[in-house]
Amino acid sequence: MHAARNIALCTKDCVCLFVCPTGATDTENGQIDFSKCLSGCRLCVDACPSHAIYLVSSNYPKPQKKETEVKDSLFDLAASKVKQESMAKALASESDDPVFRQLCKSVAMSNHIMAEDCYREAGYILPQSDAVRSLLKDLLAKEEGKADFPADAVRKLLEKL
């Protein structure tokens, strides 16, 4: 668990600078230096007058179980949204009208976001979950060796998550 700062709320009053025993709060980029933050300390969280500091967990509980039929119906919807995203992208790429392209691009973005939300609710909300690990392992097994497949990125993710 380490402290993190919501830059949008921080008024730069600097009370957190006074209370931090390690200087983790005093950085040039506005964010807290996680490597210096003491797990479980939270002095700055309680001291901040703007409620700008919160704690980020390192371990999360297992996500709620998703029933297979719920997951399936969300995957079906996501597939349809992705198809619409691809259609909108194709329509945009085949047109040279900036206004029509703007419309198609918006439709594509919107569908991409809806697809993401379906996956989130289908049990892929937490990157550290078993579901995501087994997906990454499957992808690695399947695509390893294919040109441009970022196998090292997947291995690193499996290590870090």
Give the footprint of ligand SF4 on this chain (CB under 6 A).
3, 5, 10-16, 19-22, 24-25, 32, 37-38, 41-44, 48, 50, 52-53
16 belongs to the binding site for other proteins (CB under 8 A): no
Q: Which does 25 bind (CB under 5 to 8 A by kind): ligand SF4, other proteins, none?
A: ligand SF4
Return the range that interacts with other proteins (CB under 8 A); candidates 15-23, 43-51, 144-152.
144-152
Q: Which residues pair with 3 in a beta bridge?
A: 55
Rg of the chain's alpha carbons, rounded to an integer? 22
Within 8 A by CB and 6+ apart from 149, the residues are 143
50 belongs to the binding site for other proteins (CB under 8 A): no
Q: Which does 40 bind (CB under 5 to 8 A by kind): ligand SF4, other proteins, none?
A: none
Strand residue runs (E) in the chain: 2-5, 53-56
62 belongs to the binding site for other proteins (CB under 8 A): no
Q: Which lies closer to other proteins via its Cβ, residue 11 or residue 58?
A: 58
Render the burial of 104-133: b for 16+ CB within 10 Å, e for the rest.
beebbeebbebbeebeeebbbbeeebebbe
